[in-house]
């Protein structure tokens, strides 16, 4: 809603982009109030129990399976290399009632998984594959991960551990749009508790805005991959990789016409950038009274303390609280910035950058954990300021 309101701040949009900064720009300190803009502005009318919160009984069951399970079966050295290189980045996720898989996607401990794998919990247990072959995971290996974001509609979720083991590297998020029927795929997961298992398959089709219903009863909708690949309980949330080892899908529990489904990596990028569960927003919208849309309200105009730019402050959703600051530099060779505080807590979490001051925003920087550093970068903004392409910022 707030991003949609922010669209009214611009006259038109573009798709060009430039190299973004590594850190999030901060809202400049204000100086004197601006009597008039320095340059023309456009018309702006628990789990309880054992380690990591894991149920002791459930953890015992998992470890027993680890002790008795058979090692993965490979067809050749390429599959062995794929498994050995990436299995440590595919943790086992344990709740009181379910087993699931995940994929480490950020150095800060963020793990991508399925919404169904977290089973509505606020925290889950996470076990990383032991470094030495043949070693059975121990109870003390379980660590707690908090659930930080859910998109039940796309069957995706993000969880985060406090610290990753030092040798684990996040999986790169690839581009599913270029996949074609017959493209080789690789999956690592924990089917039926047979933990750290490998499967190989191929793409059957890429389906846009696909609707399906799984055992959770939720009406899911997302871009998905249809795959000729074995999939079962415990695989949900695990990564589907291309030959380069980049994540192009996240396994989900749905099936159609004897094909397994994986949520496409484009949906994963979107979930990394989102701030609320779409299912919850949909329910809130259905229950909320209809209100007429409003034009952003200009609440103040100030000069920066350095007196080199004008800051125009807006209430973008007409709730009486400022949430958007447009910074227009006097030097037209510098970028115009639109800084948005989407949750209105006083900290900027999205910055839209207009490199050539034509009110066509070139890219957007997201600070998902509000630590002042850019976490994600969105390019190719559409007419609602939503990016078509999102990449993880370089550390």
Last residue of a domain, one of 272, 291, 310: 291
Please report the pLDDT score of residue 126 as a whole number.
94
Residue 135 vs residue 68, higher pLDDT:
135
The pLDDT of 206-227, averaged and rounded, is 84
Nearest to 174 by CA among 109, 224, 241, 112: 241
Q: Which range among 70-79, 240-249, 254-263, 376-385 shows the weakest confidence by mean pLDDT? A: 70-79
**175 and 226, same domain (yes or no):** yes
Q: How far apart are CA 99 and CA 58, in angstroms?
A: 9
Q: Supply the pTM of this predicted model.
A: 0.58
First to last CA, the chain: 30
Please report the pLDDT score of residue 47 as a whole number.
35
Q: What is the pLDDT of residues 285-323, one digit of tens each?
A: 455 444 445 667 788 888 888 888 898 888 877 778 888
The range of the structural domain enclosing residue 267 comes to: 46-291
Residue 350 vs residue 54, higher pLDDT:
350
**114 and 253, same domain (yes or no):** yes
| pLDDT of 390 strictly over 70 | no
Most confident region among 48-62, 228-242, 243-257 by mean pLDDT: 243-257
Q: What is the pLDDT of residues 88-106, one digit of tens each?
A: 999 999 888 788 899 999 9
Please report the pLDDT score of residue 315 as a whole number.
83
Q: How far apart are CA 66 and CA 333, in angstroms?
A: 60
**287 and 308, same domain (yes or no):** no
Residue 143 vs residue 120, higher pLDDT:
143
Residue 55 vs residue 153, higher pLDDT:
153
Please report the pLDDT score of residue 208 as a whole number.
87
**163 and 90, same domain (yes or no):** yes
Question: What CATH number is attached to the domain comprising 239?
Answer: 2.40.10.120
Q: How far apart are CA 109 and CA 119, in angstroms?
A: 20
**171 and 226, same domain (yes or no):** yes
Q: Compute, in degrees rounded to 10, the torsion defined by CA atoms 33, 36, 42, 43.
A: 90
**50 and 123, same domain (yes or no):** yes
Q: What is the pLDDT of residues 40-67, one digit of tens each?
A: 333 323 333 444 444 555 445 544 444 4
Last residue of a domain, one of 267, 291, 315: 291
Please report the pLDDT score of residue 291 as a whole number.
46
Q: What is the percent of the chain where pLDDT is above 90?
A: 27
Q: Which range among 55-64, 75-84, 160-169 shows the weakest confidence by mean pLDDT? A: 55-64
Last residue of a domain, one of 291, 317, 349: 291
**68 and 212, same domain (yes or no):** yes
Place of tokens 């399925």: 114
As for how many domains the chain has, the answer is 2
Q: Which residues contact 55 (CB under 8 A, 6 or more apart)?
A: 47, 48, 49, 94, 95, 96
**145 and 113, same domain (yes or no):** yes
Residue 208 vs residue 44, higher pLDDT:
208
Count of residues in the chain: 395
| pLDDT of 248 strictly over 80 | yes
Contact (CB, 8 A) for 2 and 316:
yes
Please report the pLDDT score of residue 224 as a whole number.
93
**351 and 264, same domain (yes or no):** no
Q: Compute the radius of gyration of the chain from its Cα atoms.
A: 23
Nearest to 192 by CA among 100, 84, 86: 100
Q: How far apart are CA 247 and CA 3, in angstroms?
A: 28
Please report the pLDDT score of residue 280 as a whole number.
55
Contact (CB, 8 A) for 11 and 361:
no
**121 and 250, same domain (yes or no):** yes
Q: How far apart are CA 93 and CA 64, in angstroms?
A: 15
| pLDDT of 184 strictly over 60 | yes
Contact (CB, 8 A) for 388 and 376:
no
**89 and 158, same domain (yes or no):** yes
Mean pLDDT of the chain: 76
What is the secondary structure of 89-125 as a DSSP string? GS-EEE-SS-EEEEEE-STTSEEEE-HHHHTT-SEEE
Banded pLDDT at 256 (limits 50, 70, 90): low
**6 and 130, same domain (yes or no):** no
Please report the pLDDT score of residue 262 as a whole number.
94
Beta bridge partners, 323, equal none
Q: What is the percent of the chain where pLDDT is above 70?
A: 68
Nearest to 224 by CA among 195, 259, 199: 259
Q: How far apart are CA 114 and CA 112, in angstroms?
A: 7
């Amino acid at each position: 809603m707030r991003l949609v309101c922010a669209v009214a701040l611009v006259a038109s949009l573009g798709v060009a982009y430039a190299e973004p900064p590594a850190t999030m720009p901060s809202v400049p300190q204000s100086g004197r109030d601006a009597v008039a803009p320095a340059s023309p502005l456009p018309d702006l009318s628990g789990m309880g129990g054992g380690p990591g919160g894991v149920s002791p009984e459930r953890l015992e069951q998992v470890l027993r399976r680890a002790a008795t399970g058979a090692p993965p079966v490979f067809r050749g050295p390429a599959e062995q290399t794929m498994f050995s290189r990436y299995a440590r980045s595919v943790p086992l996720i344990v709740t009181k009632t379910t087993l699931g898989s995940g994929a480490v996607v950020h150095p800060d401990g963020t793990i991508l998984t399925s919404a169904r794998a977290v089973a509505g919990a606020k925290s889950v247990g996470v076990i990383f594959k032991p470094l030495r072959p043949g070693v059975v995971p121990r109870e003390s290996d379980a660590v707690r991960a908090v659930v930080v974001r859910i998109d039940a509609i796309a069957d995706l979720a993000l969880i985060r551990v406090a610290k990753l083991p030092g040798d684990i590297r996040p999986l790169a998020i690839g581009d599913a749009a270029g996949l074609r029927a017959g493209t080789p795929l690789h999956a690592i997961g924990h089917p039926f508790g047979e933990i750290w298992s490998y499967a190989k398959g191929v793409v059957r089709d890429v389906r846009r805005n696909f609707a399906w219903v799984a055992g959770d009863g939720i009406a899911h909708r997302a871009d998905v991959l249809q795959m000729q690949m074995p999939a079962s309980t415990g695989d949900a949330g695990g990564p589907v990789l291309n030959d380069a080892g980049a994540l192009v899908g996240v396994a989900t529990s749905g099936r159609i016409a004897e094909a397994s489904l994986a949520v496409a990596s484009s949906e994963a990028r979107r979930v990394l950038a989102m701030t609320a569960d779409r299912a919850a927003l949909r329910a809130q919208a259905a229950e909320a009274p209809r209100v007429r849309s409003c034009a952003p309200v200009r609440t103040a105009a100030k000069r920066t303390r350095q007196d080199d730019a004008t800051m125009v402050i807006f209430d973008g959703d007409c709730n009486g609280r400022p949430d958007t600051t447009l910074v227009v530099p006097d030097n037209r060779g510098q970028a115009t910035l639109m800084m948005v505080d989407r949750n209105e807590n006083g900290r900027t979490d999205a910055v839209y950058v207009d490199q050539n001051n034509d009110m066509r925003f070139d890219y957007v920087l997201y600070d998902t954990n509000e630590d002042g550093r850019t976490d994600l970068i969105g390019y190719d903004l559409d007419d609602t300021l939503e990016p078509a392409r999102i990449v993880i910022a370089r550390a």
